[in-house]
Amino acid sequence: MATSAVIDHTQRDPWQVALEQFDIAADRLHLDPNMRGILRECQRELTVHFPVRMQDGVVKVFTGYRVQHNISRGPGKGGIRYHPSVTLNEVKALAMWMTWKCAVVGIPYGGAKGGVVCDPKHMTAQQLETLTRRYTTEISLLIGPDRDIPAPDVGTNAQTMAWVMDTYSMHHGSTVPAVVTGKPVSIGGSEGRNEATARGAVYTIIEASKAIGLDLEGARVVVQGYGNAGMYSAKLIAELGAKVIAVSDTSGGITNPNGLDPQKIEAFKRETGRVQGLPGAERISNTDLLELDCEILIPAAIENQIGSQNATEIKAKIVAEAANGPTSPEADRILYDRGVMVIPDILCNAGGVTVSYFEWVQDLQNLFWREATINARLKEVMVKSFNDVLDLSHKHKVDMRTAAYMLAVSRVADATLTRGIYP
C-alpha cells in the first residue's frame, strides 16, 4: 500500500481502466454486443452512509460500498478495502477484476468488492471494530455464505474478518464461519491464507522465468508495497535465491544493490511502523524505485503505478502484479512492445482468492486441510492457469493481460449465456 503523497490517484479512473481492458478482450473475442452490454455493468452497487461513535460524544459519518459485478459463476467474492481514497468507481473496478480473477483460475465465484472511505492507520482498534461491525450490518443485505463472501484487502486483515464473521453470526443467531474468508485459523480460517496472494504470485513468477529463460538464482527483485502481498512476496522470492534490492511502503522506499533481508525489514517495520530507516539501506523515491535496474518488479501496492509516463523507464524483464490494477492500458502496450512480460493482476494475485475458496470449502465441510495440502493445491491451480494464459497469448499473439481476459471473459460470458436472461 502506498500513500496519496506518492500516488497520483488522478492519473486514471480505475473503472475506466477496467472497462478499457475488458473492451480489448471483447474485441478480440468478437463478443456479442448484448453480452458486452451486460458485462460492462456491475449487477449490484450498494452505497451506505453510517455513523460511528469516535470518542467522547464525537460521531463521524462514514461512506462505504459493496459491489457485485457478475454472479453468474457463483456467489460474489472479493475483499473489503479500508483506505482514504476509496471511491465507488474504484470498488466497481475491483469487483469486475474479481469476476475475471475467479474465472481465470476456474474457481466457482462471481466478482464482488467492498470498501470504506477511512484511514485505518489513524484509527484505534476500538474504532475499527465499531466501524467494521456497523459496516457489516449495513451490507448484510448482500453478504452471506452462499451469496457474497468478503475477505481482506488493503487496510483490512484477519482481525477485521473476525469482526465481520462475529457480527453476521450475531444477527443470524448461530456461528457462520463461511460468510468471510481470511479469518484467523482459530475461528475457521485456513492454513496458508495469509501468505497465499504472495505464494501464488511467486508460483507465476517461477513459470514466467522458465518461459523467458531467466535464472531466479541471484535475480534482482524490486517490491513496491510492504503490506500482506509485498512482504510475503519479498520473503518467498528471497527463499528461492533471488536478491531483493529495494522495497517500499507508504512512508517511502529503501534500496541496497547488494540485497536486503526481508526478515530484517519485517522486524524493523514491526518496531517502527515503516521500512525507511532500516540500517544499511539507502532511501529511494517511489518513482525511482519502479525504474530501478532489476529483473523482476513486483508492484504490491495499489492502482495507477505504471502509466505512459514511466512505462518506457521500467527496466524489469518481468512485472508481476501482486497489486490490483497497477498498470494502465497505455503502459501495457509500451511494455509489450518492449518485450517486458507482465503477469496480469487477475492471474498473478489470484492465489489469495484461491486459498479463500479453499477456506470456504473447508468451513462448509467442517473439515480442515494441512498447510502442505493447501500449498500443493494452490500451486496446481496457479501453474495450470499461468500456462493456459501463456499458451493463449502465443496462439493469439497478444500480451498476457489480453490473453487472461480472453480466457476469463469467455468463461463468464458462457456461464451468463447458459443461464439465460431472467425472466
Dist CA 400 CA 313 (whole Å): 20
Closer residue to ligand GLU, CB minimum distance, 72 or 255:
72
Q: How far is the CB of 249 from ligand GLU (least distance, A)?
A: 18
Is 153 among the residues that bind ligand GLU (CB under 6 A)?
A: yes
Site residues for ligand GLU, 331-350, by CB under 6 A, read 349
Determine the straight-line distance between the first and last CA of the chain, rounded to whole angstroms.
43
User: In whole angstroms, how far apart are CA 54 and each of 80, 122, 130, 132?
Assistant: 21, 12, 9, 13
What strand order describes the sheet that includes 58-70? Answer: 44-55, 58-70, 110-117, 76-83, 148-152
The bridge status of strand 148-152 relative to strand 76-83 is parallel
Closer residue to ligand GLU, CB minimum distance, 82 or 336:
82
Q: How far is the CB of 57 from ligand GLU (least distance, A)?
A: 35
Q: What share of the chain is helix, strand, coil (3-state, %, to 5)?
A: 50, 20, 35
Is 325 among the residues that bind ligand GLU (CB under 6 A)?
A: no
Is 204 among the residues that bind ligand GLU (CB under 6 A)?
A: no
CB atoms within 10 A of CB 337: 11
CA-closest candidate to residue 216, choices 293, 289, 296: 296
DSSP alpha helix (H) spans, 397-420: 400-419
Site residues for ligand GLU, 98-127, by CB under 6 A, read 101
Closer residue to ligand GLU, CB minimum distance, 111 or 252:
111
Window 1-40: contact mask with ligand GLU (x via CB under 6 A): ----------------------------------------
Is 90 among the residues that bind ligand GLU (CB under 6 A)?
A: no
Amino acid at position 24, single letter: I
CA-closest candidate to residue 134, choices 113, 163, 161, 169: 163
**Among 35-43, 209-217, 352-360, 394-402, the segment contacting ligand GLU (CB under 6 A):** 352-360
Closer residue to ligand GLU, CB minimum distance, 227 or 262:
227
Window 166-195: contact mask with ligand GLU (x via CB under 6 A): ---------------x--------------
Q: Which residue has its beta carbon closest to ligand GLU?
A: 79
Is 199 among the residues that bind ligand GLU (CB under 6 A)?
A: no
Is 324 among the residues that bind ligand GLU (CB under 6 A)?
A: yes
Q: How far is the CB of 81 from ligand GLU (least distance, A)?
A: 8
Closer residue to ligand GLU, CB minimum distance, 336 or 357:
357
Window 43-82: contact mask with ligand GLU (x via CB under 6 A): ----------------------------------xxx---
Three-state DSSP class for residue 10 = coil
CA-closest candidate to residue 39, choices 23, 54, 53: 23
* # residues contacting ligand GLU (CB under 6 A): 12
Residue listed under C-alpha cell 474457481: 107
User: Which of 17, 18, 237, 353: binder of ligand GLU (CB under 6 A)?
Assistant: 353
Closer residue to ligand GLU, CB minimum distance, 79 or 252:
79
Closer residue to ligand GLU, CB minimum distance, 97 or 268:
97
Our answer to whether residue 397 is catalytic in this structure is no
Options 77, 113, 235, 243, the catalytic residue: 113
What is the torsion angle, in degrees rounded to the nearest 10, for the CA atoms of residue 191, residue 194, residue 199 and residue 200?
Answer: 90
Site residues for ligand GLU, 208-227, by CB under 6 A, read none
Q: How far is the CB of 353 from ligand GLU (least distance, A)?
A: 4
Sign of the alpha-carbon dihedral angle for 375, 380, 386, 389? negative
CA-closest candidate to residue 298, choices 251, 258, 262, 338: 262
Dist CA 398 CA 200 (whole Å): 23
DSSP assignment letter at 145: T
Q: How far is the CB of 108 from ligand GLU (least distance, A)?
A: 13
Closer residue to ligand GLU, CB minimum distance, 123 or 300:
300
Is 233 among the residues that bind ligand GLU (CB under 6 A)?
A: no
Is 356 among the residues that bind ligand GLU (CB under 6 A)?
A: yes
User: Which segments within 84-132 are labelled E, that is strand?
Assistant: 110-117
C-beta of residue 84 within 8 angstroms of C-beta of residue 333: no
User: In whole angstroms, how far apart are CA 271 and each of 180, 195, 275, 276, 403?
Assistant: 30, 21, 10, 12, 43
Q: How far is the CB of 16 from ligand GLU (least distance, A)?
A: 19
**Which are the catalytic amino acids?**
113
Q: Which residues lie near ligand GLU (CB under 6 A)?
A: 77-79, 101, 151, 153, 181, 324, 349, 352-353, 356
